[in-house]
Chain A
Amino acid sequence: SQTIHQWPATLVQPVGSPLSLECTVEGTSNPNLYWYRQAAGRGLQLLFYSVGIGQISSEVPQNLSASRPQDRQFILSSKKLLLSDSGFYLCAWRLAGGRETQYFGPGTRLLVL
């Protein structure tokens, strides 16, 4: 069966510091991968998605970037964090093609101070 991992689970970072969040998926090949952010009391916002290695689509202009160096690895980064980057970051995967929905990892809770 497929599993999705995210780390770290929680992170407290100062403003202006860099960020790297990692997501890996096991038990499947060539998944579509997604990064979402959920701000406190708000809905999920899609940040990036990828349909293959090295391919990244950005949904909203922001202070973040994403990379997919391997088939089942998806990384969210920032060079300099802003206060507004605080939130709950969720990685999700789905099988490419078909009508399958997405499955989420446990998330990383980021607090920028």
Chain B
Amino acid sequence: RKEVEQDPGPFNVPEGATVAFNCTYSNSASQSFFWYRQDCRKEPKLLMSVYSSGNEDGRFTAQLNRASQYISLLIRDSKLSDSATYLCVVTHTGGGNKLTFGTGTQLKVEL
């Protein structure tokens, strides 16, 4: 089983739609959680951290369920510019604070 699992997609949605991505992680000792965005042929960029209480940044909402080892990202009113691959990332303390990446979920927002 992969340490971080995501549906690869692609998710093809019309502009203005709401779309949700899910991610599960296998290591119950995981400490921190993030969503990164990666555009085609570019480096991953931090989109948002994920906190236990859930957090929102504009049109983006992230939630964490530690009991189910599950992370989600909700994008409301999607824009063409949201088209990208979204990477779920978990980290553990110690040992250089390594990140473990999911393989990503591809989103395509269409007119």
Contacts and interface: CB of A to CB of B under 8 A. Distances in A.
Interface in A7-22: none
B45 A32 contact: no
A31 B49 CA distance: 20
A43 interface: yes
Contact of B96 (A57, A90, A105, A109): A57
Contact of A102 (B41, B99, B102, B104): B99
A31 to B, nearest CB: 11
Interface in A31-61: 32, 34, 42-44, 46, 49-51, 57, 59
Contacts of A51: 96
A107 B43 contact: yes
B44 A44 contact: yes
B62 to A, nearest CB: 13
B1 interface: no
Contacts, number: 47
A109 B31 CA distance: 31
B2 to A, nearest CB: 9
Interface in B31-79: 31-32, 34, 41-46, 49
Given A43-B104, A99-B31, A104 B96 contact: no
B96 A106 contact: no
Nearest to A46: B98
A99 to B, nearest CB: 5
Q: Which 10 A-B pairs have the closest CB atoms?
A: A43-B103, A104-B43, A49-B96, A44-B101, A107-B43, A43-B101, A101-B34, A99-B32, A104-B44, A51-B96
Interface of A: 32, 34, 42-44, 46, 49-51, 57, 59, 88, 90, 94, 99, 101-107, 109
Interface of B: 31-32, 34, 41-46, 49, 87, 89, 91, 95-99, 101-104
Given A32-B96, A50-B96, 15 more contacts: A32-B97, A42-B103, A43-B103, A43-B104, A44-B44, A44-B87, A49-B98, A51-B96, A57-B95, A90-B43, A101-B49, A102-B99, A105-B43, A106-B42, A109-B41
